[in-house]
Structure 1
């Protein structure tokens, strides 16, 4: 039950924390009550979970990585980590677990790619349709397929982008969920906010928002959630 609650809250916060990003969460676990926020705490001086106000983003990241073992943190979302030029992302794509490709404005045919370990785990359209490869009718060397090694992702996406019918799907490239097992992405310090969550008890969870200004922590919000 606790794992399902964390997964459900993560699905909700993909939209809540990144309202500028046209994210539609592909994986659901069936109808469950929507969680509600109990209280919000704010930190504007000192530190919380070892994350200090005015601390630089690069030194915050390993502290969040350490929370995987101490708090059970399973995700870190990076707000407004959005690009329109694929060629700048060759080294950055393998550092993320959730990638969204879409046109402007967002569309039902936007493509969500999830990565687990070192391979593509799932491919969904924003409409909710699940795919085994994208584009569906392209050859293996010019499509992203479930099971593809993450090391091949950039070259495959570059091949797809060269196809006129799919060029517009690279107008909006969002690198949202960071792979906490991977190295720090130096571009993360341009984000105005990171957020992550962890269970605090049966059907209870805290979500931590880390806000940045100029690459340094400006404030933290702690939202306390519980299930109905």
Structure 2
């Protein structure tokens, strides 16, 4: 039940193109989400879950990694981790579970690539259409396909970007969801906010927002979600 709950939070935040939740499921159409109560706590001094105010981003990351075992955290979401230069992302792409490619304005044909372990798990368009490869009908070396090794993703995306009709899909490259099994990405320190969530009981979960200023923790918000 709690995975459905987490998925509802993801759908709401992805529609804003800024804050996905801890799930990495694609946007899909369906029934209206059920209402949930939200209570917020804020922390501006001290520590929470071992994360301290004024702590450097690089030392916060392993503390969140440790929450995989203690709290069941499965992913970390990085706000405003957006780029227009694919070449600069060669070493960073393999560190993420969820990658969005789109035009600056946002389109239904934007591409959501989800990675699980070392392979591409799924490919969706923002419209909700599921694909087995993108672009469709392109050759193997110039398309991303479900089951591809993550190690091939960068070279394939470079080849796709060089195809004129797809170049505009690289105007907005968002590395949205960090793979907590992977090493720290130094560029994450430039993000104004990270966040993650975990279940706290039947139909209950907490979402933790870690806000940064100058690469240091400035405050934390804890949103407690529960079903009415």
CA contact (8 A) 1:8 1:28 kept: no
1:100 is matched with 100
Q: Report the alpha carbon displacement of residue 133 of structure 1 after superposing the two structures with TM.
A: 0.3
1:173 is matched with 173
Report how many aligned residue pairs link the two structures: 225
Relative to structure 2, which stretch is displaced further, 100-109 or 213-222? 100-109
CA contact (8 A) 1:37 1:223 kept: no
CA contact (8 A) 1:35 1:225 kept: no
User: Map of 1:11-26 to 2, 5 A cutoff?
Assistant: 11-15=11-15, 18=18, 26=26
Output the CA distance in 1 between the equivalents of 2:179 and 2:198.
Answer: 16
Q: Report the alpha carbon displacement of residue 2 of structure 1 after superposing the two structures with TM.
A: 2.3
User: Where does the alignment leave 5 or more consecutive residues of structure 1 unmatched?
Assistant: none
Output the CA distance in 1 between the equivalents of 2:89 and 2:170.
Answer: 12
2:184 is matched with 184
CA contact (8 A) 1:4 1:29 kept: no
TM-score normalised per structure 1: 0.93
2:193 is matched with 193
TM-score normalised per structure 2: 0.93
User: Where does the alignment leave 5 or more consecutive residues of structure 2 unmatched?
Assistant: none
Output the CA distance in 2 between the equivalents of 1:203 and 1:102.
Answer: 33
Output the CA distance in 1 between the equivalents of 2:211 and 2:15.
Answer: 17
Provide the alpha-carbon RMSD of the alignment.
2.0
User: Map of 1:23-172 to 2, 5 A cutoff?
Assistant: 26=26, 28=28, 31=31, 33-172=33-172
Q: Report the alpha carbon displacement of residue 130 of structure 1 after superposing the two structures with TM.
A: 0.7
Output the CA distance in 1 between the equivalents of 2:108 and 2:28.
Answer: 17
Relative to structure 2, which stretch is displaced further, 50-59 or 33-42? 33-42
Q: Report the alpha carbon displacement of residue 18 of structure 1 after superposing the two structures with TM.
A: 1.4
Q: Deviations over 1:20-64 (max 9, x none)?
A: 9xxx96255953643424310000000100000000000000000
Output the CA distance in 1 between the equivalents of 2:16 and 2:125.
Answer: 19
Output the CA distance in 1 between the equivalents of 2:35 and 2:62.
Answer: 29
| 1:209 maps onto 2:201 in alignment | no
Given the superposition, is the C-alpha separation of residues 227 and 32 from structure 1 closer, same or farther in structure 2, using an over 3 Å criterion? Answer: farther
SS of match in other structure, 1:72:
coil
Output the CA distance in 2 between the equivalents of 1:136 and 1:39.
Answer: 44
